[in-house]
Amino acid sequence: MKKTAIYLILFACGCIAQPYYYDTGDVSDTSNPQCTLYKIMRTNLSSGNTEVFLSQKGELIATDPLQKWVAVQGSQDNLIINIYDTSNIAFSNHVKQILYSERHNTLYVISTTSFDAAFGVTISGVNPHTKGEKFSVPLSFGMDEESEAFFSVDENTIYLPVSDTSADSLYTGISKILCFSTQSNSLVEVIPLKNLGDKGAAEYHVYSGRAGKCVVESFRNKPLWGSDYRIWNLDSLTHSGSIFVGGYSKPVLLRNGEYLLVSEEYRDTVKDEYAPAMSSGLYALYDAKNLKLIKKFNLPANLDILSFEKYPNMLYGISLSGSDISVTRVDVDALLAGKPFLR
């Protein structure tokens, strides 16, 4: 069973808000042979302190970006749990992602009927107060669990990166973005990613989606090997132009789309042919409007970089070693000003 780490921010009335890193922790219950239960851990990214958030609940699956809900795989059903009071909603399908809209007072659950996310994604709407299902719309697409759905600025559209269920999707990666209306609760448009990226690329992917904006990657393996990045505003169907980054890399949008951060990555294929890409420690910061390079800088290698909408001036780098978590903090204002930026 794959262990999943989740990143989110908690807010509570009368308390100082802090960003948190959520992860599946140690085994807490093995009495049910069908489902091992784990502790759900959380780390305060400002202090570095780690604590048990939930005990004997299952395995962490997802959180919603508004920091209100987490989804876990329970002993029988998937549970969508309120972060503040730990009340929960049982869900029979296999939950993959969750989005909460305050405007529509609806929890949008993206799920599949099996563990395999490659086929049969469904979007359901749940009333978070009555816990009743408002609608459920099955779609004939699969999904890539590494990419996340996101809202338009007005929350009237959900943008969901998906792949075709045809055999060639194995070689084209995520191939489309579904535009799902939260007003009519229906699929209103399908955008082929090749129309948003570099034509003829080997793979297309979507990163860092938020408030209608995202980064579209076109990965090429010939004649040059690397990625073409374009920052798209899907609400207006406009983009910033493109940059090409050679080799492995990963993009992150900062400050609600003001800046593009690209990390250089590598894969240790000598030890493992299928090794995941890891950060080399070299980063490049670009102006998102014109994609001009602002500066390059270094951080410790093998960090997973996190940015949060409510903390636009901070970056957090997570490094895992077994159950130990270390946090690197970057002050973006200081970085831009050429001052010492590690906090």
Apex 204 CA angle, 186 and 73, nearest 5: 60
> Per the domain annotation, does 80 fall within a domain?
yes
- In this predicted structure, the answer to whether residue 326 has a pLDDT above a threshold of 50 is yes
Q: How confident is the model at residue 13 (pLDDT cuts 50, 70, 90)?
A: very low
Max mean pLDDT among 61-65, 165-169, 317-321, 327-331 falls in 327-331
Q: Is 235 exposed, middle or buried (0-12, 13-18, 19+ CB in 10 A)?
A: middle
Compute the average pLDDT of residues 166-193.
78
37-54 per-position pLDDT tens digit = 778 888 999 999 998 888
95 vs 236 pLDDT, higher one: 236
- In this predicted structure, the answer to whether residue 9 has a pLDDT above a threshold of 60 is no
Compute the average pLDDT of residues 257-270.
88
N- to C-terminal Cα separation, the chain? 35
> Per the domain annotation, does 7 fall within a domain?
yes
> Per the domain annotation, does 264 fall within a domain?
no
Q: How confident is the model at residue 28 (pLDDT cuts 50, 70, 90)?
A: low
Compute the average pLDDT of residues 132-140.
89
Contacts of 79 (CB under 8 A, 6+ apart): 57, 58, 71, 72, 88, 89, 90, 91
> Per the domain annotation, does 165 fall within a domain?
no
For a pLDDT cut of 70, what percent of the chain falls above it? 85
Average pLDDT, the chain: 84
- For the record, the structure tokens of 253 come out as 């949008």
For a pLDDT cut of 90, what percent of the chain falls above it? 46
- For the record, the structure tokens of 110 come out as 């993206």
- In this predicted structure, the answer to whether residue 164 has a pLDDT above a threshold of 70 is no
Host domain of residue 21:
1-90
Contacts of 113 (CB under 8 A, 6+ apart): 93, 94, 120, 122
Compute the average pLDDT of residues 190-207.
90
User: What's the pLDDT score for residue 118?
Assistant: 56
> Per the domain annotation, does 21 fall within a domain?
yes
> Per the domain annotation, does 82 fall within a domain?
yes
The Cβ-side half-sphere exposure at 229, using a 13 Å CA radius, reads 31
Least confident of 126-130, 236-240, 270-274, 318-322: 270-274
> Per the domain annotation, does 321 fall within a domain?
no
Task: Give the H or E element holding residue 333.
Answer: helix 332-337
Is the previous residue joined to 223 through a cis bond, with omega within 30 degrees of 0? yes
User: What's the pLDDT score for residue 181?
Assistant: 97
Contacts of 305 (CB under 8 A, 6+ apart): 252, 261, 263, 279, 283, 315, 316, 317
Domain count of the fold of the chain: 1
77-102 per-position pLDDT tens digit = 788 888 888 888 888 788 889 999 98
101 vs 117 pLDDT, higher one: 101
> Per the domain annotation, does 210 fall within a domain?
no
- In this predicted structure, the answer to whether residue 199 has a pLDDT above a threshold of 90 is no
Amino acid at 204: Y
